[in-house]
Chain A
Amino acid sequence: MKIELKKFGQLLISRPDGKEAWLAAKAYTLSDLDDSEKIEVDFNGVLVLTPSWADEFLTPLLGTYPQRVSFLPSTNQTVNSSLEIISK
């Protein structure tokens, strides 16, 4: 399954927005996931990602589906810097 983050917006900035996105993803996107299906996170089309938004969406995604989530490469520096921060 590929999750296109741009479908949650181009500016992914605040914690409340990240939390709401996660709740929506659980209800409408991830509910279709097969038991062992891998998840790819696609940052294409995202203009700004902050660690606050990422922490509310990606951190629980990684925790809920351990070993099943991968991030597609991005040239966007806010994406790469945010991912680096939340991975620490």
Chain B
Amino acid sequence: MPKQQINKKNNIGDIEQWAIDGDKKYPKDKYYCPTRDIFQARLTGFLEGLRKKLTDDNRAFLLTAIVGEIGNNSFDHNLGKWLGAPGVCFGWESNNCLIILADRGQGVLTTIKKVRPKTNTNQEALRTAFTKVLSGRFPERRGNGLKFVRQVAQTNNIEISFYSGNALCFINNNEFTIKPAAKDVPGTLAIIKF
């Protein structure tokens, strides 16, 4: 599948801008999921559309699982602590094989730092989130969702750019890299190309 650049003139680009600027540029209502059940409903529609587009059902299921894990993480770790508008923005362009998810939550560093106080940078926090089974909601036993996301992406030709703070986690078949980001995202932003 061709991997397209985000066209900032398309509406889905508003989600990325909202992740960076917050309420200054509110995405269209169709992308906004203020509660988990609305996100789940959009996810169901997403899967239905994806199954019609892709010839491989398993690929559609895997993409839905990835999106489900990332989106539900936003609710799991930010309920009651949203820094901006509550919930996630979730949009996709099937023709461009592009999915974008974002939240205006606390960010990964704040979450990880609660259980690993010596974590000082966004890059360290992302590395922990994607490689360690560590619950950000101690004492609950959690922490395996992003490991799953990474594993599925790396074994199924799915590219993920996951931003939080000033750091980026980039994943594809050949690469897993944590590096400084060109954009500053207070919560999280995931751009998935498939």
Contacts and interface: CB of A to CB of B under 8 A. Distances in A.
Interface of A: 11, 13-16, 47-52, 55, 59, 75-78, 81-82, 85-86, 88
A15 B148 contact: no
Given A11-B43, A14-B72, A47-B47, A78 B65 contact: yes
Interface of B: 36, 40, 43-44, 47, 58, 61-62, 64-65, 68-69, 72, 75-76, 133, 141-142, 144-145, 147-148, 151-152
Contact of A52 (B40, B72, B133, B152): B72
B36 A48 contact: no
A48 B144 contact: no
Given A11-B68, A13-B72, A16-B36, A81 B152 contact: yes
Nearest to A49: B65
A2 B152 CA distance: 29
Contact of B61 (A76, A86, A88): A76
A11 to B, nearest CB: 6
Given A47-B61, A76-B61, A82-B148, A11 B72 contact: no
A86 B144 CA distance: 7
B72 A81 contact: no
Nearest to A14: B72
Nearest to B151: A81
Contacts of A82: 65, 148
A49 B157 CA distance: 20
Given A11-B43, A76-B61, A81-B151, A55 B68 contact: no
Nearest to A80: B58
Given A52-B68, A76-B58, A78-B65, 17 more contacts: A11-B40, A11-B47, A11-B64, A11-B68, A13-B43, A13-B72, A15-B72, A15-B76, A47-B61, A50-B148, A51-B145, A52-B69, A52-B142, A52-B144, A52-B145, A85-B151, A88-B144
A55 B72 contact: no
B40 A15 contact: no
B58 A77 contact: yes
Query: What 3 A-B pairs come out closest when comparing CB atoms?
Result: A13-B68, A78-B65, A14-B72
Contacts of B44: 11
Contacts of B145: 50-52
A41 to B, nearest CB: 18
B92 to A, nearest CB: 16
A7 B22 CA distance: 40
Contacts of B65: 13, 48-50, 78, 81-82
